[in-house]
Amino acid sequence: MQNLRTAPALNSRHIEGNAIDMTIGWQGTLDIQVPSGLQEAIATTPRDGMNHDLRSVGASYGVVKFRGGDRDRPHWSNDGR
């Protein structure tokens, strides 16, 4: 039997206050404000935190989607780690 125990992270973006885990989803088109104050319409799929257009908007605010692929889908941070 494989040991699935993992030691706790003593240093992380969460502990630093630089990360958040959030599940995002919407139906239809998402209208979201960008830093310029304009509204951007996101009509592409998937309609969740993995959406590339949403990730671009997040990055424009300094919030970067986890860069490790699907391993940690709800994770956003200041540097994607």
Instruction: Give residue-wise pLDDT tens across range 7-27.
Output: 777 888 999 999 999 999 999
User: 32, 39 in Cβ contact below 8 A?
Assistant: yes
User: 40, 34 in Cβ contact below 8 A?
Assistant: yes
For residue 40, the one-letter residue type is: E
Q: What is the pLDDT of residues 52-66, one digit of tens each?
A: 999 999 999 999 999
Q: Is the pTM of this model over 0.75?
A: yes
According to the model, what pLDDT value does residue 70 have? Answer: 82
Instruction: Name the burial class of residue 1, with classes exposed (0-12), middle (13-18) and buried (19+) by CB atoms within 10 angstroms of its CB.
Output: exposed
Least confident residue range of 12-16, 44-48, 67-71: 67-71
Residue 8, preceding bond cis, omega within 30 degrees?
no
